[in-house]
């Protein structure tokens, strides 16, 4: 699992599922992280869609991943085919 290409989605948990849980939860949403190369999926329960809440889960996900083979700058230079030093 790396950070080279990750898909992130927010999902609202249907009310029927939340009500049917044996253990009550305050979480109304799931945030999913999918590594597009390995298809590894990680889900986190979250109580709301606020930026702070989602950022905390993103940070948690990032700290469990390997360092990418290329830096963000290298990836951008390759995809844009420009040298970012000229910007």
CA distances from 87 to 47, 71, 72, 83 (A): 40, 17, 15, 8
Q: Round to whole Å and give the CA distance between 26 and 28.
A: 6
Domains in the chain: boundaries: 6-86
pLDDT digits (tens, 9 = 90+) for 46-74: 989 998 998 889 888 888 876 666 676 77
Whether the full predicted model's pTM is greater than 0.95, yes or no, is no
Our CA angle for 81, 66, 48, nearest 5°, is: 95
Output the pLDDT for position 86.
Answer: 54
């Amino acid at each position: 699992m790396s950070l080279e290409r990750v898909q992130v989605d927010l999902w609202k948990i249907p009310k029927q599922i939340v009500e049917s849980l044996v253990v009550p939860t305050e979480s109304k949403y799931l945030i999913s992280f999918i590594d597009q190369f390995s298809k590894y999926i990680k889900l986190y329960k979250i109580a709301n869609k606020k930026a702070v809440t989602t950022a905390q889960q993103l940070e948690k996900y990032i700290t469990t991943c390997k360092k990418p083979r290329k830096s963000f700058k290298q990836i951008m230079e390759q995809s844009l085919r420009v040298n970012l030093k000229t910007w």
